[in-house]
Amino acid sequence: MPTPSEIIASVKGRRVGVVGGGVSGLAAARLLVAMGADVLLSDSGPREKARADLLALPCAFEFDGHTDALLGRELLVLSPGVKPTHPVLVEATKRGIPSCAEVELGYCALPKALPYCGITGTNGKTTTTALIGHIVSTSGRRVFVGGNIGDPLCNLAAGVLAGNALPDIAVLELSSYQCEGLHSFSAAVAVLLNVTPDHLERYTSVDAYAAAKARLFEKQRVDGTSVLNKDDRYAKALGMKLHSRIVWFSADDKPRFSFAKSPLLGRHNRENMMAAIAACQALGIDEASIQRGLDSFQGVEHRIERVATVKGVTWFNDSKATNDDAAAKALAAVPTPIIWLAGGRDKGGGYALSRAAATKRVKLAIVFGEAAPLIERAMQGVCTIARVDNIDEAVARAAGSAASGDTVLLSPACSSFDQFKNYEERGRAFKALVQALGGST
């Protein structure tokens, strides 16, 4: 049976299924059409909600669910949100139909001379990816930043196929979902920030979740560099198995660089900066450029993002904190006393870390959404708790309860999918509500 890379190398005229019609699926389908493949795009949503640019593609479609039509394909390209346990995909595996991630497709379609820096981990991926990309750009190199943030890699591949210049370095944030579908992808530099319980609605255990992330490191060549967190037990275990060069980092390391001008708060962001420095050094970035990049980086939207100060109350948007560990780190990073806004769709990891971080720091927890009863139960005895239905009510309750000197922190510890399309939509809704209160930014 041919591998995904072998099929992609001679994909013209071959039957390929793209499973999922979101951003990644659109990018994969567009690239495959440009490469001359016979494409079937399969989406679980209705046709009437599909994007116009998707429907404009000259390929076959199926909507309202994935069917046996996919079983007639030679290769399946899976979008990150599609669970491999779907019955049609399970049957495809039984029949020996290979599958891969959109990132793998983009990698196979791009020139092998392009060096990659791949960043994975439970928390800190977006900040670290954006910081590495910023430092690389500061050094004067042309950089593509994408993957799980920004552009899918297939968009870069399609642009290069159309005649656009190849960047000097590609920096990719990679989720566990994306890592699942990697086969030949080889990063010059691969970064593992941390592994804590997350996505347990998809994985059978934290070990299984960690194993998915480990795929990023499995295909590295011996001349590649693995940047690993020496304070994380999963990273330490992974380091025992690798044949690549290993560089360890820790928040406790004493850097040769200054963080004085950085807006990034908390120990976890010091960890992210140490990882970014190690990755950039492995990429050959000079120290002066690294320092300039650290000094000029402005942070990431939705990650402990200062929104405004209203009547002496500082409001932070940390909508990207979609699990317990991320919320706990934000609670430890911002000034006290804290009014904490949390809730959304529960992901099965519990709230023990947030409870510990909230103790003696949070004066009021305002919980909302599907997970509100679970968070309320977890916070009993720690602080005053108020339950509301949604973010609108949470902001109004916080505004009425906060006193000058307080911090209001949206750090949900949950996914957004009960009330929002994604964490970005949730964060922007929160910011609009805060900005409507007035105050200074």
Taking Cα atoms as reference points, which of 41, 428, 53, 116 lies closest to residue 279? 116
Tell me the three state secondary structure of residue 258.
coil
pTM for this model (two decimals): 0.85
Fold classified for 305-435: Protein-Tyrosine Phosphatase; Chain A (3.90.190)
Classify residue 213 by burial, with Cβ atoms within 10 Å: 0-12, 13-18, 19+: buried
- Taking the C-alpha atoms of residue 119 and residue 279, their distance in angstroms, rounded to an integer, is 9
pLDDT digits (tens, 9 = 90+) for 13-49: 999 999 999 999 999 999 999 999 999 999 999 999 8
Residues of the chain with pLDDT under 50: none
Closest CA to 82 of 172, 202, 184: 202
Look up residue 133 and give its two tokens: 């990309």
How many whole angstroms separate alpha carbon 35 and alpha carbon 343? Answer: 44
**What pLDDT, on the 0 to 100 scale, is given for residue 204?**
84
Report, in angstroms and rounded to the nearest whole number, the Rg of the chain calculated over CA atoms: 22
Domains 12-97 and 305-435 share a fold: no
Identify the pLDDT of residue 440. 64
**Per-domain residue ranges of the chain:** 12-97, 105-296, 305-435
- Inter-residue contact 301 to 315 (CB < 8 Å): no
Q: Give residue for tokens 């909600």.
A: 49
CATH class for domain 105-296? alpha beta
Q: Which CATH architecture has domain 12-97?
A: 3-Layer(aba) Sandwich (3.40)
- Burial code (b: 16+ CB inside 10 Å, e: under 16) for 86-104 equals bebbeebeeeebbbbbbbb
Q: What pLDDT does residue 28 have?
A: 98
